Amino acid sequence: MNKNIALIRGDYASVEIMEQAVRVLDRVAEKYGHSFSYTEVDMGGAAIDKYGEPLPDSELAKCLASDSVLLGAVGGPKWDGVPADKRPERGLLKLRKGMGLYSNIRPAKIWPQLAASSPLKPSIVEKGVDFVIVRELIGGAYFGEHKTWTAENGEKAASDIIVYSEHEIERIGRIGFEMAQKRRRKLCSVDKANVLDSSKLWRAVMHRIKDDYPDVEYSEMYVDNCAMQIVRDPSQFDVIVTENMFGDILSDEASMVAGSIGMAPSSSLGDGSCGLYEPIHGTAPDIAGQDKINPSACILSAAMMLRYSFDMAEEADEIEKAVNAVLNDGLRTGDIRSEGCTVVGCRAMGDAILSKI
């Protein structure tokens, strides 16, 4: 099978993790008889330096013409002083919108070898942490009207509008239900329906479509309670579906419960098979160029790409098993180091994972 992958190497240390992910993809292609070609795309700080904006239309077009997009991470202190509408992160929002990526899939899983890295008590971790957050990605407060004004008394005021339509809620809700059908058949819809009209509509739509999935156990929870329950007993969750801002906050909380953001991949999908795959961590400017960053999340994001966009489940399993085998061997990058293990750098971790494929 031939696939063209748009590569956004990103900024600072993300360039290092992308190198390891490409090496793994090439090894998989060689073993399984595929051909992966790569289109280089500038986004974020790299695009600001080159073009003066975080994602030019020409670079977005490359992503739209690809079979899928693999992203490292963008941003960093070098661009802190640029205008708000030119910040590196604006490129990511434009990319999601341009590709029509309305769902973000964020697994929260504790690898058994890294259980001690979780801040939760062992008695909680032993019950298991393995759930997925399905986050609506191109609606809500992040894409609503943002306004700042001066009131008559001279005081500054600001507003950010949350807007959701029925079809936006239904399509993300159905993705959540369908994912639950492939897992443990439990779905929790998270909102703030006791306060927000947008959440009242969210809940009404979820109530309407839940009967289409009688094999899925449905529940709902206010977002503040959900944030508490994730740290009290994460084993109760299988699939969580929620709106954009709530999902942003809860998925970051979940990544820390799981022990390390250096092991956490994610995917963003729309109606077609072309998706965006990226680790959830940032560009790590403090260790850029030092061969210290953990490439595992980017490599696991590549595995998600094979699974969800290319229907290469066996190949994705191969990568995930390789990462697991390396952890069993006691190799760790600095972010997941523990007593009795061998600390290695980014490239050495990539080498070790390659050796297992």
DSSP 132-188: EEEEE-SSGGGTS-EEEEE-TTS-EEEEE-----HHHHHHHHHHHHHHHHTTTSEEE
CATH of the domain at 183: 3.40.718.10
Phi and psi based region of residue 340 (left: phi greater than 0; alpha: psi -120 to 50; beta: remaining)? left
Rounded to two decimals, the pTM is: 0.87
Catalytic annotation, pick one of 192, 218, 238, 308? 192
Q: Report the pLDDT value the prediction gives residue 4, as an integer from 0 to 100.
A: 98
Are the C-beta atoms of 44 and 38 separated by less than 8 Å?
no
> In whole angstroms, what is the distance from residue 204 CA to residue 352 CA?
49
Q: Is the dihedral of CA 251, 254, 260, 266 positive or negative?
A: negative
Catalytic annotation, pick one of 130, 160, 252, 329? 252
In eight-state DSSP terms, residue 341 is P
Q: Report the pLDDT value the prediction gives residue 62, as an integer from 0 to 100.
A: 98
Both 248 and 130 in one domain: the answer is yes
Both 133 and 95 in one domain: the answer is no
Per-residue pLDDT of the chain (357 residues; tens, 9 = 90+): 999 999 999 999 999 999 999 999 999 999 999 999 999 999 999 999 999 999 999 999 999 999 999 999 999 999 999 998 899 999 998 999 899 999 999 999 888 888 888 889 999 999 989 999 999 998 999 989 999 999 999 999 999 999 999 999 999 999 999 999 989 999 999 999 999 999 999 999 999 999 999 999 999 999 999 999 999 999 999 999 999 999 999 998 998 887 778 899 999 999 889 999 999 999 999 999 999 999 999 999 999 999 999 999 999 999 999 999 999 999 999 998 888 899 999 999 999 999 999
User: Tokens for 315?
Assistant: 């190949």
- Last residue of a domain, which of 257, 290, 305? 257
> In whole angstroms, what is the distance from residue 20 CA to residue 22 CA?
5
Catalytic annotation, pick one of 86, 142, 291, 356? 142
Both 127 and 175 in one domain: the answer is yes
57 is catalytic: no
108 belongs to a structural domain: no
The structural domain count of the chain equals 2
192 is catalytic: yes
Both 251 and 138 in one domain: the answer is yes
172 belongs to a structural domain: yes
3 is catalytic: no
73 belongs to a structural domain: yes
Both 200 and 123 in one domain: the answer is yes
Catalytic annotation, pick one of 248, 277, 292, 308? 248
197 is catalytic: no
User: Tokens for 10?
Assistant: 């990103």
Both 84 and 138 in one domain: the answer is no
- Last residue of a domain, which of 218, 233, 257? 257
- Last residue of a domain, which of 221, 237, 257? 257
User: Tokens for 265?
Assistant: 């991949």
113 belongs to a structural domain: no
Both 143 and 126 in one domain: the answer is yes
Both 164 and 240 in one domain: the answer is yes
Both 171 and 219 in one domain: the answer is yes
Both 88 and 157 in one domain: the answer is no
Catalytic annotation, pick one of 224, 286, 311, 317? 224
> In whole angstroms, what is the distance from residue 77 CA to residue 19 CA?
22
Q: 10 Å Cβ neighbour count for 69?
A: 26
Q: Range of 152's domain?
A: 119-257
109 is catalytic: no
Q: How far from 233 is each of 109, 176, 219, CA to CA, in Å?
A: 13, 21, 16
